[in-house]
Amino acid sequence: MTENLNDKLTFIDLFAGCGGLSLGLEQAGFFPLFVNELNSDAMETYLRNRDAEFPHLRQRFHSNDIKSIVSDEGFFQRLFGDLSAQFGQSIQAGDIDLVSGGPPCQGFSGIGIRRSYSVDKNQLPSNHLFQDMAYFIHHVRPKVFLFENVEGLLTSRWTKEGTKGEAFKDVLNTFRSLEGYTVRYKLVRARDYAVPQNRPRVLLIGVRNDLVKSAMADDDAVLAGFLPAPVGMYPDLIDVLSDLIDPAFENGGHTTKYVNSAKSNWQKEIRTLPSGQLLQKGSRLTEQEYSKHSPTVRARFQAMIENGGIIPPEMRTKKFAQRLLPQKWGNKGPSITACSLADDFVHFAQARSLTVREWARLQTFPDWYEFAGKRTTGGIRRAGNPRENIFEREVPKYTQIGNAVPPRLGLEVGKHILRILG
């Protein structure tokens, strides 16, 4: 059966990762037409969770390498032709509602900077992918486009001798050079949109001038009405994770079924399938596999739990950098950012690191969302080595989640874009 797009708002997601932003946009009411993601594991995660509702994506409408797209003179003509044939209606440049994208950011993130091995950022190929995104937008002419990246982009230099903020200036000027769009930007924090962590992200949004009713001169995208105002209401960790606590968990083992009923409204929402069914006690639970810690490490974790996160002096080591997650945030609010290592944080009630499922919840992925690839990896396989021209990186489950845009943030942004589109 051919899907009728007349009553749907459509989007294309570039550099989509495992699909966090896409999921939020879909929950807001957007329909995905095409997806791009370089890493095969992240792409498989994306497609696996959409096979039932959006089978056309796996069948034809996905691509791994954006470089192959922008270097192919006939790509856009074929894309519009294929989309028109797939959905039985003419789809041309200017018809698609939204193009979103978050190019890889390792050269601008705090972690990425530490791993850059003193290589100038203008030498990292991934740092110039915003130009490819702009090229794509130029040809598709969406009604709205959304660019997402890390906080560090705002202050990054191309070289050590460069000017603070010059990288973002180039990004901003590139998107503002697209004819016919009004562009605004904002540094937002996911905690302001009901996500249980800080997660600061730069959001840059362009609205086609024929849809701009009014826009303030201020670059602030929220004040200009291009992005949603904060909604607040982030949950405490006890509300997010308490139903996943298995009293009988085994070090290095896994829990395959829910051992508790949902204990909060937030848990009920995250445990609800797209069909509306709530996953009950005894239902299948995925990604709840526990890291295998040595007795020494487990003792250190337990001491942290018993001492409010403080490690006794006799247990301290130079390499031990874990932090204890609190049950409740208190007045300061969430103070974490999802990372890509299994052992970044210690569970607030059990002497262990967090599972993939628990990390996914901190990013507001629902429990039905499953991840492809390795659980974790390390060293050069995950970080690469730009100094040695090694740019390929493994993207295991923890990294996919850590790199993702929280779906809940995508949902709030998506709902606001719906209002812009009328």
Asked if 198 and 288 sit in the same domain, the reply is no
Asked if 278 and 358 sit in the same domain, the reply is yes
- Give the structural domain span for 279: 235-332+339-390
51-55, 161-165, 244-248, 332-336, range with the lowest pLDDT:
332-336
Instruction: Assign residue 304 the CATH number of its domain.
Output: 3.90.120
Asked if 223 and 251 sit in the same domain, the reply is no
Q: Which residues pair with 200 in a beta bridge?
A: 189
Q: Give pLDDT, residue 384.
A: 46
Asked if 205 and 276 sit in the same domain, the reply is no
Asked if residues 46 and 18 have their Cβ atoms less than 8 Å apart, the reply is yes
Residue 399's φ and ψ, nearest 5 degrees, are -70, -40
Inform me whether the pLDDT recorded for 382 exceeds 60: no
Is residue 397 one of the residues assigned to a domain?
no
Confidence (pTM): 0.92
Q: Give pLDDT, residue 184.
A: 96
Q: Give pLDDT, residue 293.
A: 94
Q: What is the pLDDT of residues 21-56, one digit of tens each?
A: 999 999 999 999 999 999 999 999 999 999 999 999
Is residue 352 one of the residues assigned to a domain?
yes
Asked if 313 and 190 sit in the same domain, the reply is no
* Between 106 and 359, the higher pLDDT residue: 359
3 state SS of 103:
coil
Helix axes 129-140, 166-176, angle to 10 degrees: 10
Instruction: Assign residue 38 the CATH number of its domain.
Output: 3.40.50.150
Asked if 316 and 288 sit in the same domain, the reply is yes
Inform me whether the pLDDT recorded for 113 exceeds 50: no
Q: What is the pLDDT of residues 193-241, one digit of tens each?
A: 999 999 999 999 999 999 997 766 678 999 999 999 999 889 999 999 9
pLDDT band at residue 109 using 50, 70 and 90 as cut-offs: low
Asked if 208 and 244 sit in the same domain, the reply is no
Asked if 131 and 252 sit in the same domain, the reply is no
* Between 83 and 105, the higher pLDDT residue: 83
Asked if 230 and 240 sit in the same domain, the reply is no
**pLDDT over 90 percentage in the chain:** 76
Is residue 289 one of the residues assigned to a domain?
yes
The one-letter amino acid code at 4 reads N
Asked if residues 337 and 344 have their Cβ atoms less than 8 Å apart, the reply is no
Tokens 């090229």 sit on residue: 135
Q: Give pLDDT, residue 317.
A: 83
Average of per-residue pLDDT across 160-183: 94
Is residue 396 one of the residues assigned to a domain?
no
**What is the distance between the alpha carbons of residues 122 and 125, in angstroms, rounded to a whole number?**
7
Is residue 375 one of the residues assigned to a domain?
yes
**233 Rama class: left (phi>0) / alpha (psi -120 to 50) / beta:** left
Inform me whether the pLDDT recorded for 346 exceeds 90: yes
Is residue 395 one of the residues assigned to a domain?
no
Asked if 241 and 146 sit in the same domain, the reply is no
Count of the separate structural domains present in the chain: 2
Average of per-residue pLDDT across 135-164: 94
**What is the distance between the alpha carbons of residues 330 and 255, in angstroms, rounded to a whole number?**
30
With a CB cutoff of 8 Å and minimum separation 6, the contacts of 340 are: 111, 382, 396, 398, 399, 401, 402, 403
Asked if 381 and 415 sit in the same domain, the reply is no
Is residue 2 one of the residues assigned to a domain?
no
pLDDT band at residue 123 using 50, 70 and 90 as cut-offs: low
**What is the distance between the alpha carbons of residues 238 and 84, in angstroms, rounded to a whole number?**
48
**What is the distance between the alpha carbons of residues 179 and 169, in angstroms, rounded to a whole number?**
18
Is residue 398 one of the residues assigned to a domain?
no
pLDDT band at residue 112 using 50, 70 and 90 as cut-offs: very low
Average of per-residue pLDDT across 235-252: 96
Average of per-residue pLDDT across 401-417: 96
Average of per-residue pLDDT across 363-392: 71
Inform me whether the pLDDT recorded for 319 exceeds 60: yes
Inform me whether the pLDDT recorded for 385 exceeds 90: no
pLDDT band at residue 359 using 50, 70 and 90 as cut-offs: very high
Asked if 31 and 156 sit in the same domain, the reply is yes
